Amino acid sequence: MDRDRDRRNVQDEYRGLSLERIVELLGDKRLLLEVAIENLERDFSVGTIIRSANNFNVAKVHILGKKKCNLRGAMCTDKYLEVVYWNELEDFFRDQRMREREVVAIENHDVRVRPLVNKKFIQRTTLLFGSEGNGLTEATLKMADDVREIESFGSTRSVNVAVAAGIAMYEWVRQCVLNGGGDG
């Protein structure tokens, strides 16, 4: 592909390269962060979260639930990273435990919830998000290792789930990549 005619929304260093080559180059520098999305009802939110996950070069996106999603909102960024579907919640958590990952739910309706600002992330983290209206299911919250909320200062209780995902991914990147932190 001609670099000057490549109109894809990719960084300049990837212009003119094939999809396969871009995926290969991204794979060489993937972060250890993973993202999971449970039962999101709005396809646009799923796609927006995947687009942000691609921007942060996360290792993998997990979609939990029986319904496969329309990924139009991802603007084709799902092609640059691995998206895995899980029909059964237990299978997802078994995978996470087997790979020694900490699952951090981002939610504001749970009794265990604590502020995101106080979270000290480890490298092997999977951030977990639920639907806009209903949040994460009880079963999912019980299996999560930690539950955090993004603090609100206005009249609304929370930010949109796709915005919350971007904020949480950035906080992990800030701690574990930009500041060289994380203990895993």
* All structural domains of the chain: 1-30 (no CATH), 31-178 (3.40.1280.10)
Largest CA distance in the chain: 54
pLDDT digits (tens, 9 = 90+) for 67-86: 666 565 555 667 778 889 99
Mean pLDDT score of the chain: 86
Q: Which residue would you say has higher pLDDT here, 157 or 161?
A: 161
Which pLDDT score, from 0 to 100, does residue 43 have? 61
Q: What pLDDT is recorded for position 94?
A: 98
Q: How far, in Å, are 77, 115, 124, 171, 180 from residue 119 at the CA level?
A: 29, 7, 14, 9, 15
- Give the tens place of pLDDT for each residue, 6-62: 666 777 788 888 888 888 888 899 999 999 999 766 567 888 898 899 999 999 999
